[in-house]
A and B are shown apart, each in its own frame.
Chain A
Amino acid sequence: MAVQYQHGLSFFILAFFLIFGSTFFGLQALFLGIWDYIISIPGNIFTVWSTTPMETFAANIPAAVQSLPAEDLSTIYGSATSPWGSLQAFTDGLPASAGALPPADIAATYAAATDSRLSGWQGAWTIFYWAWWIAFAPFVGVFLARISKGRTVREYVLGAIVIPALMCFVWFAIVGGTAIDLELNGDANGAITGAGQADQLFAMLAVILQPTLAWLMSIIVVILLLTYLVTSADSAVLIINTINAGGDEGPKARPHILFWGAALALVVGGLIIAGGLGAIQTAMVIGALPFSLVMALMGISVLKAIWKDGKREKAGVPATSAQVADAAAAAE
């Protein structure tokens, strides 16, 4: 039942933004974005930025800055390496001893820490996402396997990678594009940028719609969100129990369903109360690391299996359970 409504509601929200949002801006973002993304892949896929150590930083800044007191230098290092700052904020926050520095020296100092800022940004965004997708992969992976019996590898890759990625792009371009457009053309006047990440969709609805309609749309979004949360959580509990039962979907013992339901609630609640979303994030990044190793081995394992099965096929050695059964029947 839930899935049916989910598809309907999520399509409704997307269609709403296609019609009432910044359609042209969004479509432009979609097509240019896909083009730019594909071109960026060879460069981006292997890019890793690393932090600039204090010593390297100190060696690369102008002499006038190097001669500042050590504690001021360490303050400057701290603020120059923060990925969330800007040259202006860096300049405004310089210690008093640096007040007389020429702008060129300040800019050169800030530039000496660019790699550190890039590395901080990559850790907070890209590496965080990679860890999240890896931690989420056993859950989605079991589900994908469950629904894909009988597909060819090529169909599977198209259906499980290319099409969902395109659907994400449509959402990001149409919905996010409307938000960016409203800020660029001044309609939102900072109302969306200023809202917290969790509130931005609602903030955008409040900009586009008159209050009553924005209220109704917000209710629709909350209902859709609730169905997503409930189906994600209950499927997660059932997949955890399936893994615990050695792949058997059979046992559905109540205490174990209750345990994992409560455990999820307590992990989420306990960590948010202890340290906000940041605390969940830290635990998740740690929990994902061992599974990333398992996944790397899975990649090697499937390559090896497909390669050897190809050789088996050529040599007439059974490679699947059906072929083994056929061979046994033929031998009798």
Chain B
Amino acid sequence: MSLKPPLMELPIKVANSGFYKGFTTDVTVTAKLLVGGLIIWAVGFPESAGTVLSGINNFILASFNIWYVYVMAFFVFVCLFLAVLPASGRLRLGHPEDRPEFSNFSWFSMMFGAGIGIGMLTFATAEPMYHFGSNPSTIMGLTEGSSAGNVREAYIWSFTHWGLAAWAAYAIVGLSLAYFSYRRDLPLTIRSALVPIFGSKLSGPLGHTVDVVAVVATVLGVSQTLGFGVEQFVAGLSRIGFGDWLYTATADGGSKVSVAAIIVALLIIMGASTLSALSGVGKGIKWLSNINMGSAFSFSPSS
């Protein structure tokens, strides 16, 4: 039996000087080209972008629905299995003497706060309402939409979508990154999680590809969240009384958020967040200061 210690080093080449100093040029430039291309395509050729993207989207929804359902089930299974199994459940994400940096309360509240707030403000109302109107049970004719008998069905689907599966997807990424970073000193970045499969090859193009895929997914996933947030922000401004210009009429007699409203909302949001990100320069990364605030809130000793 040839048991060797696992790979403990995964060098990722970064530029030593120039515009990309400190960055992996291959990853950064590729990601910028992909995202930049998407923006130019969507802004310059909205019709062709819309048609092509929704064509691919329909294909994915029809052909990869099984994949998505099973892969999410797999994440839930892996996380619960590793937690329940005595041998793995007591493994530490770190070395034996490492102890958590944060009190349980501030740790839980940071977990929950990590990007899910927009979901709570929009979907905590909207989703049970939608499912209350229609869900698989009403489609099959088992319950009647918008009736008292449909409330439990509405909650089964709301909880399915925002329950274990959602958090298991986040947790599997966090678990593997923490495991390889804190036990094996690998860099805390996406490609490190695949070292047991691909080994040191991840220092090269394969690893770059993994990171690019993660960056593109992040941009689009966060855009989705921001998109819902912008719409709710505009709806709120309209309720507060900022005027009629926030909405424009559509051809079918409805209304939609106006272009001016989207631009103003995005200028406010992205202006504030870019300033906040820039102010992090020299003070350590923003999420770290957020973390300290999180622990300050719970009156616990912070790191």
Q: Check A268 against B139 for contact (C-beta < 8 Å).
A: no
Alpha-carbon gap, A179 to B151, bound state (A): 11
Q: Check B170 against A160 for contact (C-beta < 8 Å).
A: yes
Can you list 17 pairs linking A and B with CB atoms under 8 Å apart? Answer: A7-B294, A46-B70, A134-B68, A137-B221, A139-B221, A144-B111, A144-B171, A147-B107, A172-B123, A175-B124, A175-B125, A176-B127, A238-B277, A238-B286, A244-B23, A295-B172, A312-B3
Residues from chain B with Cβ under 8 Å of A247 in the complex: 12, 181, 187-189, 192
Q: Check A168 against B173 for contact (C-beta < 8 Å).
A: no
Q: Check A193 against B170 for contact (C-beta < 8 Å).
A: no
- B114 CB, min distance to chain A CBs, angstroms: 5
Contact of B60 among A206, A246, A286 (CB under 8 A): A286
Known interface pairs A44-B160, A235-B115, A288-B221. Does A144 touch B12 (Cβ–Cβ under 8 Å)? no
* A61-69, A93-101, A116-124: which lies at the interface: A116-124
Known interface pairs A244-B27, A295-B169, A299-B74. Does A202 touch B69 (Cβ–Cβ under 8 Å)? no
- B112 CB, min distance to chain A CBs, angstroms: 5
Alpha-carbon gap, A180 to B129, bound state (A): 6
Indicate if A1 sits at the interface (CB-CB under 8 A).
yes
- Residues from 174 to 233 in A contacting B, C-beta threshold 8 Å: 175-177, 179-180, 183-184, 192-193, 196-202, 204, 206, 214-215, 218-219, 221-222, 224-226, 228-233
Residues from chain B with Cβ under 8 Å of A10 in the complex: 117, 120
Alpha-carbon gap, A4 to B50, bound state (A): 40
- A224 CB, min distance to chain B CBs, angstroms: 7
Return the chain B residue nearest A175 by Cβ.
B124
Q: Check B278 against A239 for contact (C-beta < 8 Å).
A: no
Q: Check A157 against B65 for contact (C-beta < 8 Å).
A: no
Indicate if B5 sits at the interface (CB-CB under 8 A).
yes
Q: Check A118 against B136 for contact (C-beta < 8 Å).
A: yes
- A94 CB, min distance to chain B CBs, angstroms: 18
Q: Check B281 against A254 for contact (C-beta < 8 Å).
A: yes
Return the chain A residue nearest B64 by Cβ.
A289
Indicate if B56 sits at the interface (CB-CB under 8 A).
yes
**Count of chain A residues with a beta carbon within 8 Å of a chain B beta carbon:** 201
Q: Check B297 against A172 for contact (C-beta < 8 Å).
A: no
Indicate if A140 sits at the interface (CB-CB under 8 A).
yes
- B69 CB, min distance to chain A CBs, angstroms: 5
Known interface pairs A161-B79, A263-B219. Does A138 touch B57 (Cβ–Cβ under 8 Å)? no
Q: Is the interface of A mostly helix, strand, loop or mixed?
A: helix
Contact of A196 among B14, B213, B235, B276 (CB under 8 A): B235
Known interface pairs A198-B122, A215-B241, A319-B183. Does A225 touch B232 (Cβ–Cβ under 8 Å)? yes
Residues from chain B with Cβ under 8 Å of A172 in the complex: 123-124, 127-128, 155, 158-159, 162
Q: Check B91 against A152 for contact (C-beta < 8 Å).
A: yes
Among B46, B136, B164, B266, find the residue whose CB has the most chain A CB atoms closer than 10 A.
B136
3 A-B pairs with the lowest CB-CB distances in the bound complex, closest first: A141-B173, A135-B221, A144-B174
- Residues from 241 to 282 in B contacting A, C-beta threshold 8 Å: 241, 256-257, 259, 262-263, 266-270, 272-274, 276-278, 280-282
Q: Check A140 against B159 for contact (C-beta < 8 Å).
A: no
Q: Check B60 against A160 for contact (C-beta < 8 Å).
A: no
Contact of B173 among A137, A270, A287 (CB under 8 A): A137
Residues from chain A with Cβ under 8 Å of B282 in the complex: 252
Known interface pairs A138-B190, A145-B188, A152-B92. Does A232 touch B118 (Cβ–Cβ under 8 Å)? yes
A33-48 interface code vs B (CB 8 A; 1 in, 0 out): 1101100110011111
Residues from chain B with Cβ under 8 Å of A119 in the complex: 65
Residues from chain B with Cβ under 8 Å of A261 in the complex: 270, 273-274, 277
Return the chain A residue nearest B76 by Cβ.
A45
Residues from chain B with Cβ under 8 Å of A214 in the complex: 239
- Residues from 200 to 217 in B contacting A, C-beta threshold 8 Å: 210-211, 213-217
Supply 17 further A-B pairs (C-beta < 8 A) apart from A4-B294, A138-B173, A302-B179: A3-B297, A10-B120, A129-B166, A132-B221, A134-B217, A145-B174, A155-B100, A168-B116, A176-B128, A192-B129, A198-B228, A233-B273, A248-B187, A259-B32, A267-B35, A268-B227, A324-B8
Residues from chain B with Cβ under 8 Å of A47 in the complex: 69
